[in-house]
Amino acid sequence: MATLLHAIVEPGFFSSAPVRLAAEMGALVAIVAAVVGVFTVVRGQAFSGEALGDIGATGGASAYLAGISSVWGFVGISVLAAAAMELIGVQRARGRDIATGVVLGAGFGLAALLIYLGTLQTSTSGSTVTILFGSPFTLSPSDLPLVLGFGALVLVTLAALYRPLLLASISPELAAARGLPVRLIGVAYLMALAVAVALSAVTIGAILSTALLVGPAATALALTNRPGRALALAAMIGVAATWLGLLLAYDSYYWPPRHHGWPPSFFIVALVLIGYLAVAARRGGGRRGAR
């Protein structure tokens, strides 16, 4: 038994301090992303999530130009982008797609400029890789309180707005008939999404931020028809995928032929997708292809 466990968990996994920090931060952002993600999937705003994460990552990576903490840079730029989407018209379901796209395009353009200007200053363009793939788990322990604070802010906001947000996500019409400020609720949600996505982009990378936002939530929604349970399940799936992915990435240092560490983001994304496919396949066919 011990040898089996030893074969799965390579020695040193639990005693390594960077791994522990990664596991803590990863779990934290996985929970926040999964909880926000349930509403994202229900509201059909996966593209907004992806775009805000990308913009946060591209712009935020250039935060060092201004000499501020990257957490502030990511979150600030993502929130600004969310505000721009809102102003352009992200509320109408049909215009939302285009508004999101235009802001994302402009954001990418700006990022190209900032990176170029950054290269002029530092004569390296190493940040580009960080931008696209994120740089999982390179934050310092001193960033943990900031990440914790923003994460808590998102969760508290969602808890406070839980019922109105749920009703407005199910049917804006029913919410409006009760006199709820549907648009304001939408803005508050979009801001929470921006912070959550930027947070995961800065901690674990832009790819993972979308994967952890959409994957666990979509899987949980296929498994249960109770909103409270969907939230809890999504959070658990997110944390499980993150930890298992970290474990595999750690193990992969010992894998033949090269003894080269595979990136955690690959494992986590693959696990999230496998989980989703397993649940979707179990549920079987006969489902209409929603657009």
Which residues between 127 and 156 bind another protein (CB under 8 A)? 127-129, 131-133
Q: Which two tokens mark 111?
A: 């990022």
Q: Look at residue 272 and give its three-state secondary structure.
A: helix
- Neighbouring C-beta atoms of residue 27, cutoff 10 Å: 17
Q: Which stretch binds another protein (CB under 8 A): 7-15, 120-128, 137-145, 187-195?
A: 120-128
246 in contact with another protein (CB under 8 A): no
Q: What whole-number distance in Å separates Cα of residue 226 and Cα of residue 136?
A: 33
Q: Among residues 141 and 160, whose Cβ is nearest to another protein? A: 160
DSSP 137: T
Cα separation, 285 vs 172, in Å, equals: 30
**Residue 232 lies near another protein (rule: CB under 8 A):** no
101 binds another protein (CB under 8 A): yes
Q: Is 171 an interacting residue with respect to another protein (CB under 8 A)?
A: yes
Q: Please provide the size of the chain in residues.
A: 291
Which residue's structure tokens are 């390594």? 16
Nearer to another protein, 14 or 274 (CB): 274
Q: By CB under 8 A, tell whether 265 contacts another protein.
A: yes
Tokens in use for 135? 């740089």
**Whole-number Å distance between alpha carbons of 45 and 190:** 9
Residues 27-56 that bind another protein (CB under 8 A): 38, 41-42, 44-47, 49-51
Q: Which stretch binds another protein (CB under 8 A): 13-21, 72-80, 98-106, 141-149?
A: 98-106
Do 47 and 100 contact (CB within 8 A), yes or no?
yes
Of the residues 66, 113, 152, 184, which one makes contact with another protein according to CB under 8 A: 113
- Return the DSSP state at 226: -
Judged by CB under 8 A, does residue 287 bind another protein?
Answer: yes
Binding segment for another protein (CB under 8 A), chosen from 70-78, 102-110, 138-146, 235-243, is 102-110
Q: How far apart, in whole angstroms, are the C-alpha atoms of residue 230 and residue 268?
A: 20
Site string for another protein, 184-223 (x = CB under 8 A): ---------------------x-xx-xx-xxx--x-xxx-
